[in-house]
């Protein structure tokens, strides 16, 4: 099935166009600076053909029109008419408590996504814009929403309830939701594949370390806990986000520095994490370079970052009563041998033995990086959320067609 | 459709505030003044304001660069294409505002909405010099513009509903709440606040309490974030006196008559935060008063 996967952000639309039968991404790219002067289209075809061109994209509708046009373009396209797009899969940030699995977008589902805007004010409105634009541009083509939160819906209440007045859960839906669900799900599945075992027989800890960072405890194929919480701010140290902190410090700093809610929010989301500790950069590559040169604060940032990962691995091993595999993914997780090594340092008691050479040599491919004797396996995997979205879309749309027959 | 580009005439405090607020909301701004020197001062002022936001962690350095890149300084009231709004933020004098509106009318596309930021002058009268009185509207940005979350959108006599709605949409796009007001001297914010501040100055002059005590009582007693005397220092006592005299002249009521102590302080040059001394003394413009003055 030929499926267009869309990730609609505030001023960009990212796309990948799949042939799921061949498991092939035919084309991918993005429209940037939507609604701003100087909108740009980047487009890449499977055979390496690339273009980068200025476009007029006043809104998401116009941007998706441009995406469809370039997919059909004679010189750079991969299809000859709109009808060859058989379905559209959308990445949607927040599904709340009701949308717990990927769903065909009906009026009811659209409304439920809309109801979650308050939980994800920076993402869901833009996701909806993409959905509405597709409904207009491709009215007869089924659309599916795949939620970043859905995979974690299997968490027990003991994982998702915060120890604050229970009425806040009832009143505002304050609980742990978790994010990066599609990535954790893909990576756990890929880990089982690499181990040649059934996921349902494994305890896996997946570490998604990218722009945002989160860890998930996946017990027999189900997420039972994850480090991101009510928002993506909780848990690990990230490029610019603080992760776990004492909540009292926020109130203390707000009163000391006379900060508004917006200022405090920006402080925790944009000025903390690696850049906050180091004062140098939010980019782990830069932190590693500076740490190597002996820059103290960069070293400290690296230490705090990896210590936090280690703590979560220990915690989740305990939560699951043991761990069969730890898998790293995301920009940092897939590429930084130093971060992986430091995060696992001293975890031999959990049966984890990293193979130094394999760890260093794991570049650009999914691979095992633990030693042959390691009781607990360690992998590095390139995540592929878009493929999951395409496959979910295919499954849902096929069953729909099946029902119709 | 969101607004993409606006023109702001006058790069003083008000013009800078509007330019910064609009650019922060993703709107392209053409900021105009009479010469390069004024524009340099304005850009430096906006940069300093953005730097203070970085220090308070409100924005990042890259966000600052993006915001500044949206502000294009130009000399004179040249026609600038695609500007959906032309906003005057020139000194609060009728003749100057009229002159700017005349040039706006001549230079800008017929669809462009003309905005006056006056708080005491008559917008209908300013608009009368144009051939598009239905596309004339007022926007009063209370001071300090960058921090204040409300804008009074003012309907002049001939403002069309479409213009009024478009003006409200622009304010919302700039991340602020709208309060609709009809044209009348002082609108809400100036009209209500000015006699309040004046009364506090009277209380000080009559020796009821110290400046610190007056502000403390009002702040804690009524949950105001800032006391009336510090607010006066923030607005500038000279500007405050101009507002009062204008209201006094327009409305003729004694309650708008500037308190003698206010007059004396303006005469002595103690006009508030901008000079480091008003009712309170300020250290290097930090905004925190160090000790009581007056």
| Residue range B11-29, pLDDT digits in tens | 998 999 999 999 999 899 9
B58 CB neighbours in chain A (<8 A) are 260, 262-263, 266-267
Q: Is residue A378 part of a domain?
A: yes
Contact present, A204 and A146 (Cβ < 8 Å): no
Residue A247 and residue A325 in one domain: yes
Residue A401 has pLDDT above 90, yes or no: no
Q: Is residue A156 part of a domain?
A: no
> Strand, coil or helix: what is A152?
helix
Residue B164 and residue B20 in one domain: yes
In chain B, what percentage of residues exceed pLDDT 70? 96
Q: Is residue A338 part of a domain?
A: yes
H helix intervals, A223-283: 247-257, 261-270, 273-278
> Strand, coil or helix: what is B70?
coil
Q: Smallest Cβ distance to A35: which of B2, B57, B58?
A: B2
Residue B156 and residue B205 in one domain: no
B57 CB neighbours in chain A (<8 A) are 259, 263-264, 266-267, 270-271
Q: How many domains does chain A have?
A: 2
A238-256 residue pLDDT tens: 999 999 999 999 999 999 9
User: Does B78 or A379 have the greater pLDDT score?
Assistant: A379
Residue B288 has pLDDT above 70, yes or no: no
The residue among B182, B199, B216 that closes a domain is: B182
pTM recorded for the entire structure: 0.84
Q: Kindly report the average pLDDT of chain B as a whole number.
A: 91
Residue B32 has pLDDT above 50, yes or no: yes
What pLDDT band is residue B293 in, cutting at 50, 70 and 90? very low
Chain B residues in contact with chain A using a Cβ-Cβ cutoff of 8 Å? 1-2, 4, 26, 28, 56-60
Q: How many domains does chain B have?
A: 2
Residue A284 has pLDDT above 70, yes or no: yes
Residue B291 has pLDDT above 50, yes or no: no
Find, among B168, B192, B194, the residue nearest to B179 by Cα.
B168
Q: Which residues form the domain of A202?
A: 197-385
Residue A8 has pLDDT above 50, yes or no: yes
Provide the token pair at A279: 């004062």
Q: Is residue A177 part of a domain?
A: no
**Residue of chain B whose alpha carbon sits nearest to that of A59:** B1
What pLDDT band is residue B284 in, cutting at 50, 70 and 90? low
- The CATH number covering residue B199 comes to 1.10.1040.10
- The CATH number covering residue A280 comes to 3.30.420.40
Residue B84 and residue B226 in one domain: no
- The CATH number covering residue B174 comes to 3.40.50.720
Rounded Cα distance between B46 and B26, Å, is 15
A280 CB neighbours in chain B (<8 A) are none
Q: Is A140 a catalytic residue?
A: no
Per-residue confidence (pLDDT) for residue B290, from 0 to 100: 44
| H or E stretch at A245 | none
Per-residue confidence (pLDDT) for residue B292, from 0 to 100: 44
Q: Is residue A125 part of a domain?
A: yes
A37 CB neighbours in chain B (<8 A) are 4, 28
- The answer to whether the CB atoms of B60 and A270 lie below 8 A apart is yes
The residue among B134, B151, B182 that closes a domain is: B182
A263 CB neighbours in chain B (<8 A) are 56-58
Residue B163 and residue B204 in one domain: no
A253 and chain B in contact, CB less than 8 A? no
> Strand, coil or helix: what is B291?
strand
Per-residue confidence (pLDDT) for residue B79, from 0 to 100: 66
Residue A214 and residue A285 in one domain: yes
ipTM of the complex: 0.73
Report the Cα A81 to chain-centroid distance in Å.
Answer: 32
The residue among B182, B213, B237 that closes a domain is: B182
Lowest mean pLDDT among A84-93, B224-233, B280-289: B280-289
Contact present, A146 and A104 (Cβ < 8 Å): no
Rounded Cα distance between B195 and B255, Å, is 6
- The answer to whether the CB atoms of A266 and B58 lie below 8 A apart is yes
Rounded Cα distance between B120 and B113, Å, is 20
Mean pLDDT value across residues B84-89: 96
Residue B286 has pLDDT above 50, yes or no: no
Residue A221 and residue A99 in one domain: no
A270 and chain B in contact, CB less than 8 A? yes
Residue A276 has pLDDT above 90, yes or no: yes
What pLDDT band is residue B274 in, cutting at 50, 70 and 90? confident
Rounded Cα distance between A226 and A222, Å, is 11
Lowest mean pLDDT among A28-37, A161-170, A304-313: A28-37
Per-residue confidence (pLDDT) for residue B146, from 0 to 100: 87
Provide the token pair at A267: 């402080």
Residue B64 and residue B82 in one domain: yes
Residue A11 has pLDDT above 90, yes or no: no
Name the A residues in 98-157 with CB < 8 Å from any B CB: none
Residue A37 and residue A121 in one domain: yes
Q: Which residues form the domain of B266?
A: 189-292
Q: Report the gap between the CA of B60 and the closest CA in chain A (Å).
A: 7
Rounded Cα distance between A94 and A135, Å, is 20
Mean pLDDT value across residues B263-274: 94
**Residue of chain B whose alpha carbon sits nearest to that of A253:** B56
Residue A217 and residue A333 in one domain: yes
Q: Smallest Cβ distance to B57: which of A36, A59, A263?
A: A263
> Strand, coil or helix: what is B181?
strand
Residue B217 and residue B263 in one domain: yes
Rounded Cα distance between A230 and A162, Å, is 9
Residue B144 and residue B287 in one domain: no
Residue B143 and residue B238 in one domain: no
Residue B124 and residue B201 in one domain: no
Mean pLDDT value across residues B144-157: 92
- The answer to whether the CB atoms of A263 and B1 lie below 8 A apart is no
Mean pLDDT value across residues A225-241: 96
What pLDDT band is residue A10 in, cutting at 50, 70 and 90? confident
What pLDDT band is residue A305 in, cutting at 50, 70 and 90? very high
Residue A137 and residue A263 in one domain: no
Residue B128 and residue B27 in one domain: yes
Q: Is residue A343 part of a domain?
A: yes
Per-residue confidence (pLDDT) for residue B238, from 0 to 100: 93
Residue B161 and residue B243 in one domain: no
Q: A94-108, A117-131, B55-69, B180-194: which has the highest mean pLDDT?
A: A94-108
Mean pLDDT value across residues B254-279: 95
Q: Is residue A168 part of a domain?
A: no
Residue A135 and residue A202 in one domain: no
Residue B262 and residue B165 in one domain: no
């Amino acid at each position: 099935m030929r499926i267009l996967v869309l990730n609609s952000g505030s001023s960009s639309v990212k796309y990948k166009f799949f042939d799921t039968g061949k498991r092939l991404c035919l084309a991918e790219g993005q429209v940037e600076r939507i609604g701003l002067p100087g909108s740009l289209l980047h487009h890449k075809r499977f055979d390496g053909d690339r273009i980068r061109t200025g476009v007029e994209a006043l809104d998401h509708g116009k941007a998706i029109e441009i995406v469809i046009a370039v997919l059909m373009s004679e010189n750079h396209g991969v299809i000859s008419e709109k009808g060859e797009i058989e379905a559209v899969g959308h990445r949607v940030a927040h599904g709340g408590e009701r949308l717990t699995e990927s769903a065909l977008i009906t009026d009811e589902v659209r409304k439920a996504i809309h109801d979650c805007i308050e939980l994800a004010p920076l993402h869901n409105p833009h996701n909806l814009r993409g959905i509405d634009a597709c409904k207009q541009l491709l009215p007869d083509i089924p659309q599916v929403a795949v939620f970043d939160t859905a995979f974690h819906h299997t968490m027990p209440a003991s994982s998702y309830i915060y120890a604050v007045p229970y009425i806040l859960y009832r009143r505002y839906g304050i609980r742990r939701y978790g994010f990066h669900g599609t990535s954790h799900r893909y990576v756990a599945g890929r880990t089982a594949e690499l181990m040649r075992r059934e996921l349902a027989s494994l305890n896996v800890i997946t570490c998604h370390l990218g722009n945002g960072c989160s860890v998930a405890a996946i017990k027999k194929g189900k997420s039972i806990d994850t480090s991101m919480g009510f928002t993506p701010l909780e848990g690990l140290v990230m490029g610019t986000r603080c992760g776990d902190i004492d909540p009292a410090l926020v109130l203390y700093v707000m009163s000391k520095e006379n900060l508004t809610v917006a200022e405090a929010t920006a402080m925790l989301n944009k000025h903390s994490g690696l850049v906050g500790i180091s004062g140098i950069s939010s980019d782990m590559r830069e932190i590693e370079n500076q740490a190597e040169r002996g820059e103290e604060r960069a070293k400290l940032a690296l230490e705090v970052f990896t210590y936090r990962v280690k703590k979560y691995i220990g915690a989740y091993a305990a939560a699951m009563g043991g761990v069969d595999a730890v898998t790293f993914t995301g920009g940092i997780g897939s590429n930084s041998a130093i971060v992986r090594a430091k995060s696992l340092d001293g975890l031999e008691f959990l049966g984890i033995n990293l193979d130094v050479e394999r760890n260093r040599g794991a570049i650009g491919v999914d691979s095992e990086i633990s030693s042959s004797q390691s009781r607990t396996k360690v992998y590095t995997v390139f995540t592929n959320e878009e493929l999951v979205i395409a496959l979910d879309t295919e499954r849902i749309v096929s069953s729909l067609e099946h029902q119709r027959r | 459709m969101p607004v993409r580009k606006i023109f702001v005439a006058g790069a003083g405090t008000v013009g800078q505030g509007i330019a910064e607020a609009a650019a922060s909301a993703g709107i392209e701004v053409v900021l105009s003044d009479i010469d390069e020197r004024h524009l340099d001062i304005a850009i430096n002022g906006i940069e300093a304001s953005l730097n203070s936001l970085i220090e308070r962690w409100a924005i990042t350095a890259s966000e600052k660069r993006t915001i500044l890149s949206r502000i294009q300084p130009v000399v004179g009231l040249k026609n600038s294409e695609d500007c959906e709004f032309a906003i005057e933020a020139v000194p609060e004098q009728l003749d100057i505002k009229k002159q700017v509106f005349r040039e706006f009318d001549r230079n800008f596309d017929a669809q462009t909405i003309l905005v006056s930021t006056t708080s005491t002058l008559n917008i209908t009268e300013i608009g009368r010099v144009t051939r598009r009185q239905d596309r004339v509207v007022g926007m009063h940005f209370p001071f300090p513009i960058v921090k204040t979350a409300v804008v009074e959108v003012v309907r002049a006599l001939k403002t069309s509903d479409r213009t009024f709605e478009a003006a409200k949409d622009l304010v919302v796009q700039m991340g602020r709440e709208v309060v609709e007001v009809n044209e009348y001297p002082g609108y809400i914010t100036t009209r209500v606040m000015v006699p309040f501040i004046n009364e506090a100055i009277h209380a000080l002059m009559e020796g009821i309490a110290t400046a610190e005590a007056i502000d403390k009582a009002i702040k804690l007693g009524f949950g105001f974030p800032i006391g009336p005397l510090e607010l006066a220092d923030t607005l500038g006592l000279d500007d405050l006196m101009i507002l009062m005299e204008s209201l006094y002249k327009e409305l003729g009521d004694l309650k708008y008559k500037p308190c003698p102590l206010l007059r004396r302080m303006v005469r002595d040059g103690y006009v508030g935060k901008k000079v480091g001394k008003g009712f309170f003394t300020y250290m290097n413009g930090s905004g925190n008063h160090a000790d009581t003055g007056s």
